[in-house]
Chains A and B, each alone.
Chain A
Amino acid sequence: MANVRISGLHKRYGAFHAVRGIDLDIPDGEFTVLVGPSGCGKSTLLRTIAGLEEISEGTIEIGGEVVNDLRPRDRDVAMVFQDYALYPHMSVARNIGFGLKARKMPQPEIDRRVDTAARMLGITQLLGRLPRQLSGGQRQRVAIGRAIVRNPRIFLFDEPLSNLDAQLRDEMRGEIKRLHQGISTTMIYVTHDQIEAMTLADRIVLMRDGLIEQQGAPLDLFERPATTFVAGFLGSPKMSFLPGRLESRAGSEGIAFGDQFLPLPNGRMAPRTSGDGSVLLGLRPEHLSRAPAGAPPPGCVRYDALVDLVQPTGSRSYATFRLAGEPVIAELQAHDVSRPGETLPIDVNMNRASVFDAATGKAI
C-alpha cells in the first residue's frame, strides 16, 4: 500500500516527446484510471511507474521514496499486461508463483499463496494447465492472480481487457472493481475505453498529447468537462456541439444560432469569451427529453424537432434531429419516438448543457 507522486515527468524517444510534463498525486488506495486516445502517453506513463521505461526528466515517488533509479523488481509493483504476458512454458501454478520464486520465497509458502489467489479468482481447477490451454478470460484471471499473489504496494493495469470480447469484458470489469473493493490497494489502470474509465475509476486522469487534460471524479468530468476534448471523449453517444454566439436578447443572456435563441438560465453563468463571442453549446443525449404537457420546467427550452434517424437500443432510443442546422442526438424513452419524419416537442435542459469558448475549446 502506497501513494504515488509524479512531478515534472517527461519522456522523450529521440525527437518524439511522449510525456510532456506530468504532475500527478495518487493517494494510497485509490483506483486511478489513465484514459485517452491512442498515442496520448498513458501507457508510457504507466510503464515509467513500473520502471520499464527510463524517464527523461522529473521524479516518481512511491510511498514517499523516489524510485527513479530503482529496477522494476525493487519497486514492489505488479503489472497486468494487455496480452497477459503469461509464460507459455510454465503451468498456471508456476506462472502465478513465478514472482515469489524469483524472490526466493520457500516453496510451501508459495503453494499456500498461489492456492489462496487461485481460490479468490476461481481458477483452482486450472492450476495444472498450460496457458495455451486456457480461454482469454481464464488467461486474464491468471495474469491478475500473478499480480495479487505478490501482495504488491501498487497494481498497474495496461489495457487488460482490450483483448476480450464484449461480454467477458463486462464480467472482468466487475471483477477488477470487486478486487479493488476487497484489497483496496492503490491501482493505476490504463485504458482507451471511456466506459471502463467511468465504471472503474475513483478518479479519471484524461490525457492528451502527453499532458493531462483534466482529472477528477468520473461524474465531475462527465458533468463538467473542462474542454471540448474531454466532453467529446467521455459519453456515448458523444456530446453534440452546436456553434453559436453569446448574445443578450430581451433581457436575458443566451446563445444565438441565427434566428434561433436559447436563453441560458439565470445565474447559470456570466460567460465571457476570449474572442468575439463565438461559443460551442455542448449537449449530451440525456440533456434532451420529450417535453411533458404544460410549461417547460425551469431552465429548459422547448422546441419542435423533426426526427431524422431513430436508433432503438431496447429500453431507450437515440433520436437524431437538427437543431440550429447541426445534428443532435437525444436519448428518449423507447415509446416516445417511433420513426423518422415525426415532429416531437423536445425540452433542452440548459442547466446541464456545457458552453465552450469556440476559440480555445475551454469551458466557460
Chain B
Amino acid sequence: MAAVRSARRPRRGGAPVARFVLLGFFLIFVLWPLYWMFNTSVKPSDDYLATPPVWFPTEPTLLHYEVALFTYRGLEGLINSLIISLSATALSALLGTTMAYSLARYNTGGQHLSFWVLSQRFLPPIGIVLPVFLIYRQVGLYDTHVGLIVAYTVFTLPVSVWMMFAYFRGMPRSMEEAALVDGCTRWEAFWRVAVPLAAPGIVAAAVFAFIACWTEFFFALLLTSRTAFTLPTVFRAFIGFQGAQYGEAAALAIVSLVPSIALGVLAQRHLVRGLTLGAVRG
C-alpha cells in the first residue's frame, strides 16, 4: 500500500513552458480580483475610478478598514458571523456524523430515509423563508444568534449527512467489528474507531458547512436586524443613494476572507483525502 501511495502518475507529455504559461494565466485569473480588491481597500477614495487606473496607491490608507469595522459595525458582524458559523458547523458535523453512521451501519429508515434527508436540499430556500420568519417572531428566535444557528444547522445538515454517509459506507466494517469483539460497546466502537478513521470526511463536510454558513446572505437578511446580523448583511450598507463605498466594501471583503483562508490552511491536509470520500483506501 505504501508503494501505491508513493508511486507517481506517469507524466503527461507537453513542454514545461506551455504548462507554466497555462498555470500563469490561471493564477492571474484567480489572483487578479483579489489583488484589485486589496488595492481598492487601501486606496484613497478619489483613486477608485481614476483614469488611468492607480495600480499601486502612493499613499495607502487604513481609513476604509476603520470605517467599515467600526462605523458600519463590521466588527460586530464579523464576531456574530464567527459565533454563528462555527456553532452551526460544529452542530452540523456532530449531528451529521451520528446520523450518517446510523444510516450507513444500521440501515436506519431503510432505503428511503437517507434520500429523504437529501431531498431537503431540493426545496428553494425562498419557499420557506416566510413561515420561518413568522415562527421565529412567534417563539422569540428572531434576531438571535440561536435562531440563525438553528436555521444554518438545518440547511447544512443534509449535505453533511450525505458526505458522511458515503464516507462511512466506504469504510470497512471489520475495524469496528474488531473493536466490538475486543471489548467495546457500539458507542465506544463508534467514538474510538469509526470517528478517528472518518476524520478526513468529517473535516471535509465541516468545511463545506462552514463556507455555506459564512457566505449565507438571504436568511441572515430576513431573520436578523440589529443584534445578530452577520458579516454578509453589512455589505448592503455600502451601496446607497449617493454612490457606492468601494473602499469600505473592499476592506470588509478582505477581512471576511481571513477566517476562510485560515480554515483552508488548517484543514488542507484532511480536505484532499476527505473529498475523495474514501474512494482510495490507503
Q: Interface of A with B (CB < 8 Å)?
A: 50-52, 71-73, 77-79, 81-83, 85-89, 98-100, 102-103, 132-133, 146, 150, 156
A72, A99, A100, A132 — most chain B CB neighbours (10 Å): A72
**Residues on A with beta carbons closer than 8 Å to the beta carbon of B177:** 50, 52, 72, 79, 81, 85
**Residues on B with beta carbons closer than 8 Å to the beta carbon of A100:** 183
B181, B185, B188 — most chain A CB neighbours (10 Å): B181
The total of chain B residues at the interface (CB under 8 A) is 20
Q: How far is the CA of A16 from the CA of B19 in the complex (A)?
A: 56
With beta carbons under 8 angstroms apart, the residue of A102, A132, A133 that contacts B188 is A102
**Residues on A with beta carbons closer than 8 Å to the beta carbon of B2:** 132-133
Q: How far is the CA of A86 from the CA of B196 in the complex (A)?
A: 13
B197 close to A146 (CB less than 8 A): no
**Residues on B with beta carbons closer than 8 Å to the beta carbon of A86:** 175, 178
A88 close to B181 (CB less than 8 A): no
**Residues on A with beta carbons closer than 8 Å to the beta carbon of B174:** 81-83, 85
Give chain A nearest CB distance to B275 CB in angstroms.
Answer: 19
- Give the top 7 A-B pairs by smallest Cβ distance, nearest first: A99-B182, A102-B183, A85-B174, A85-B178, A72-B180, A73-B183, A81-B174
**Residues on A with beta carbons closer than 8 Å to the beta carbon of B282:** 88, 132
A-B contact count (CB 8 A): 70
Q: Does B179 contact A (CB under 8 A)?
A: yes
Give chain B nearest CB distance to A50 CB in angstroms.
Answer: 6
With beta carbons under 8 angstroms apart, the residue of B172, B175, B183 that contacts A99 is B183
Known: A73-B185, A89-B196, A102-B188. A132 touches B178 (CB 8 A): no
Provide the B147-189 mask, 1 if CB < 8 A to any CB of A, else 0: 0000000000000000000000000101101111111110010
Known: A85-B172, A89-B196. A150 touches B182 (CB 8 A): yes
Chain A residue nearest in CB terms to B2 = A132
Q: Does B261 contact A (CB under 8 A)?
A: no
Q: How far is the CA of A16 from the CA of B27 in the complex (A)?
A: 57
Q: How far is the CA of A146 from the CA of B1 in the complex (A)?
A: 22
Chain B residue nearest in CB terms to A158 = B174
**Residues on B with beta carbons closer than 8 Å to the beta carbon of A83:** 172, 174
B180 close to A132 (CB less than 8 A): no
